Structure 1
Amino acid sequence: MPQRVQTSVSVHMFTERFSATPRGARLARRMARYRLDGWGIPYGGEISERAAQIIAELAANAATHGRVAGRDFELRLTCTGEAVRIEVSDARTERCPTQEPRRPDPDDESGRGLLLVAALADEWGVARRDVGKTVWAWIDRRPAVGRPPGG
């Protein structure tokens, strides 16, 4: 009879609600970097920097475009040995971003956040909820094929 081998898989999760304000968006980014560092993804590393920028953009969008009076936005992080998944949920259903963000005119002062998320995330998308939506991004932690680890 073949012997079964069980492997241990570590999954870290963090969920917190923040006020739908610029201050709440900044706090979400800071808390996420702190959690990631505690999970072995160090400050200043590539994964930490990508995650922080994605969270900054998604949280700012939730506080600016997804804001509903009296409602917070939620940040959820899930971290495994393979990936970091970022989810930011807000209460606005009617303002749902498209999977192909529109490129702003060169003179526009805003509108580049989701383009940045698309560039930094390995995958991203939008999921509707009963109330509102969740914009998620996924960062692969495994080394790219043909690229040395950390390179």
Structure 2
Amino acid sequence: MLTSPFPARGDARAADRVFGASAATPRRARAFVRAQLAGWGLPELTDTVELLTSELVTNAVRATEAVVGLPVASSVFPVALRMVALRLVLSARSLVVEVWDISAQTPATQRADPPDELREGGRGLTLVGALSTAWGQRTAPGRGKIVWCEVAVPVSPAPSPAPSPVSATPPVRRPSTTLPRRLRHARVAERADGPDARTLRCVLEGLRRLD
């Protein structure tokens, strides 16, 4: 039975799969990653994580093929020989890709020169370092090693508040019940009953001069 070398988490945010170390393993690992990210609702990470997985798994297959005199699988680390294990661990901010192989040899950063675009991998850990936020290696608890890389999970923008509904009809203005009153700014002069005495005297003197 093929069991994963990774410790059980009992978490829906972690998934692992064991593959045979063959030429078809990178392709199968990419299909597993694609399906898992779709289930987690992270299709925007598919291209990057598929490429990273392909590189790490390709290196693990080559490392496994280079091992001579493989030890017998034990109950402590019950993984069949010539196998490669892959695990995805998702948190709120990052996605970690872990790939196990039985070889204890440290992977070397290498570069295909000239690059061959038709190869499954071979661009090496230089590409892994460029596409991931961090990567590294640790010894597996039993035998072999685990090479891992981390990818940032994009933060979804907060939903903008819904616009308030706009009324299609303009508001109705009701007419005022009272008419405006005209304001008087000047004081109204009082009306006199007749000409005053001074005016009459001036008129009388004028008549006398005419005589």
* TM band (smaller chain): 0.7 to 0.9
Alpha-carbon separation, structure 2, partners of 1:71 and 1:111: 20
The alpha-carbon deviation at position 103 of structure 1 amounts to 4.9
Alpha-carbon separation, structure 1, partners of 2:57 and 2:110: 19
Contact 1:25–1:59 under 8 Å retained in 2: yes
- The one-letter amino acid paired with 2:42 is I
Cα offsets for 1:50-101 (capped at 9, x unmatched): 11000000111111123356321100001122111000000001x2125xx2
The alpha-carbon deviation at position 111 of structure 1 amounts to 4.9
Contact 1:11–1:80 under 8 Å retained in 2: no
Q: Indicate the structure (1 or 2) with the bigger Cα radius of gyration.
A: 2
Contact 2:64–2:83 under 8 Å retained in 1: no
Contact 1:86–1:137 under 8 Å retained in 2: yes
> Which one has more relative contact order, counting CA pairs under 8 Å at least 6 apart?
1
The alpha-carbon deviation at position 24 of structure 1 amounts to 1.8
State the match for 1:134 in structure 2: 146
State the match for 1:38 in structure 2: 39
Structure 2 gaps, min length 5: 1-10, 71-80, 159-211
- The one-letter amino acid paired with 1:97 is P
Alpha-carbon separation, structure 2, partners of 1:122 and 1:138: 6
* RMSD value, Cα: 2.4
Q: TM-score, normalised by structure 2?
A: 0.55
Alpha-carbon separation, structure 2, partners of 1:11 and 1:17: 18
Alpha-carbon separation, structure 1, partners of 2:130 and 2:12: 25
Closer, same or farther: CA 26–111 of 1 in aligned 2, 3 Å: closer
The alpha-carbon deviation at position 49 of structure 1 amounts to 1.0
Closer, same or farther: CA 21–141 of 1 in aligned 2, 3 Å: same
Paired-residue identity, %: 31
Q: Give the number of aligned pairs.
A: 129
State the match for 2:20 in structure 1: 19
Alpha-carbon separation, structure 1, partners of 2:12 and 2:150: 15
**1:2-151 alignment runs, 5 A limit:** 12-42=13-43, 45=44, 47-67=45-65, 68=67, 70-93=81-104, 95-98=105-108, 101-103=109-111, 106-107=113-114, 111-129=122-140, 130-143=142-155
State the match for 2:7 in structure 1: none
Contact 1:17–1:73 under 8 Å retained in 2: yes
